[in-house]
Amino acid sequence: MSALNTVIVPIHRAGWPFIGAFAVVSAILAAIWWPLGWVGLIATAWCVYFFRNPNRMIPDRPGLVVSPADGRVSMITTAPPPPELEMGPAPMLRISIFLNVFNVHVNRVPIGGVVTRAAYHPGKFLNASLDKASELNERMAVRLRLEDGRELAFVQIAGLVARRILWTIAEGETVRTGDRYGLIRFGSRVDVYLPPDVTPLVVVGQTATGGETVLADLAGTEPARTGRLS
């Protein structure tokens, strides 16, 4: 079974209507002219690839904050969390993960806790790699209270070609580190807001794996990491 799981990757249920539509169009194109059917088949295969939903090995040591998404660490900065979360204007450490159209787009909870607020905010569809996308773009923001009373936030942000944010998380819900909670179509960003005294354990440009890459250790004393291309 383990060998089979490495070949057959689960598909997110939100993808099946798109996969079905692509398959129908492919069949129609093939009936019109068979080379077009091959184009449709390739597009259908890409759609299946986009909505893949692989299992991950989640670190379960208390205090570890994992990446909420697959992608590239595009920014590490300080900024106030979205105003709709009502966490105040004080800046927090913000780590941004940028997803391109080839990344897994299923989003995961960065650390376990209780959801105290979940707020959707309509907005624009600017390039998600831009800093102002955090403020101006369509987003879904979550405020989380940890067991020790501290709070953090994580935010799904629509991108240039993303036109739909999906989430399955509600206020009052208790979540675990690495739980799947949403998906963004097609190309986007996820921000994690951490307390200002927390040190990031990733660097800008690093590739992150959702649910596995550790962004920070809330109980750690390790200094901020540096990195270089090689």
Q: Phi first, then psi: what are they for 69, rounded to 5°?
A: -160, 160
Distance from C-alpha of 88 to C-alpha of 109, rounded to nearest angstrom: 22
Among the listed residues 26, 74, 134, 188, the single catalytic one is 188
What residues pair up with 185 in beta bridges, in sequence order?
A: 164
Q: In 3D, which of 209, 216, 76 has the Cα closest to residue 146?
A: 216
Residue 18, preceding bond cis, omega within 30 degrees? no
Query: Is residue 26 annotated as a catalytic residue, yes or no?
Result: no
Per the rule left: phi > 0, alpha: psi between -120 and 50, beta: everything else, 178 is left
Catalytic residue positions? Answer: 188
